[in-house]
Amino acid sequence: MTTNGTGTHGAIIEDTMPEEDRPLVELRNAGKSYGNIRALHGVSLTVQSGKVTCVLGDNGAGKSTLIKIISGLHQHTEGEFLVDGTPVRFTTPREALDKGIATVYQDLATVPLMPVWRNFFLGSEMTKGPWPVRRLDIEKMKKTADEELRNMGIVLDDLDQPIGTLSGGQRQSVAIARAVYFGARVLILDEPTAALGVKQSGVVLKYIAAARDRGLGVIFITHNPHHAYMVGDHFSVLRLGTMELSADRSEVSLEELTNHMAGGAELAALKHELAQVRGVDVEELPEAEDLQAPVAASSEGTS
């Protein structure tokens, strides 16, 4: 069940709701238009402490628009956006960060040639000594980064190695540990596994679970239902800017989720069209529910 999602009498419900049950972040019928283009409409979503909310959808579905609203890059033009039960309207990402909402973007903001520990503290370096001889506290930063990474179960051989030498999965993991260390309560991950292989994706999923176990509310954006189902507590599927499905784990199976993502009806229609093209044996094409990578199959494999 989605708690408190209906919206109209929200204020009354909130007053009686115990604080620990109150969502960290909530969207109620939220939407966003870019001029004449309505990118998002009627979206309701809650993020709870210690839970992973997955947002799925094909390209152009509105996933990035949704997280841009929550992370303070864009403002909603319809509905409500609440943090800790209070309506907000962020004008900069800094304001979201001040509320403990941290976003790890796909193109990570790291400096590849700088050591791992230096990237961990990038922009928030530890210093020592009085002005004007204030200098970087390298030892303390190395020690803290090492401790924090270990706390998350991330073991790296050498924190002095340039972060660019780490695998994609390891770099995502460092970014997650960094957000946790700097006090994130809500962690937004924009397609962290999209460019990764199976093993590296597993690494990232493990740290998503670690962040959840530390009590963070996680928003995991992906178009891979298999990845989502491995760690998700709630699943929201976007299609053309509206929410096509919003279901708790107990209410939806992996098969159903996969079908929603694959667009079962669209695939059936496509198969019918392909039947008229010579050289394509439609009997050989997989059924919608058999597809392992629905997005690749629906948007690239058929063009």
Ligand X SMILES: Nc1ncnc2c1ncn2[C@@H]1O[C@H](COP(=O)(O)OP(=O)(O)O)[C@@H](O)[C@H]1O
Scan residues 29-88 and list those touching Mg ion (CB under 5 A).
Answer: 63-64
Span interacting with ligand X, options 17-25, 58-66, 81-89, 267-275, rule CB under 6 A: 58-66
37 makes contact, choosing from ligand X, Mg ion, none, with CB < 5 to 8 Å by partner type, with ligand X
Tokens of 285: 């094409």
Query: Whole-angstrom Cα distance, residue 26 to residue 281?
Result: 47
* CB closer to ligand X out of 61 and 116: 61
Closest distance of CB 112 from ligand X, Å: 25
Query: Whole-angstrom Cα distance, residue 62 to residue 32?
Result: 9
- 63 near ligand X (CB under 6 A): yes
Closest distance of CB 194 from ligand X, Å: 11
Q: SS3 sequence, 126-176?
A: CEECCCCCCEECHHHHHHHHHHHHHHCCCCCCCCCCEHHHCCHHHHHHHHH
Binding mask 18-37 for ligand X (x = CB under 6 A): ----------------x--x
Contacting residues for 41 by C-beta, under 8 A, at least 6 apart: 31, 78, 241, 242
Tokens of 256: 């159903």
* CB closer to Mg ion out of 210 and 295: 295
Helix or strand or coil: residue 45? strand
Tokens 């993502």 map to which residue?
261
Closest distance of CB 63 from ligand X, Å: 3
Angle, helix 138-151 to helix 168-181, in steps of 10 degrees? 100
- 103 near Mg ion (CB under 5 A): no
- 133 near ligand X (CB under 6 A): no
- 60 near ligand X (CB under 6 A): yes
Applying CB under 6 A, the residues found at the interface with ligand X are 34, 37, 39, 57, 59-65
Applying CB under 5 A, the residues found at the interface with Mg ion are 63-64
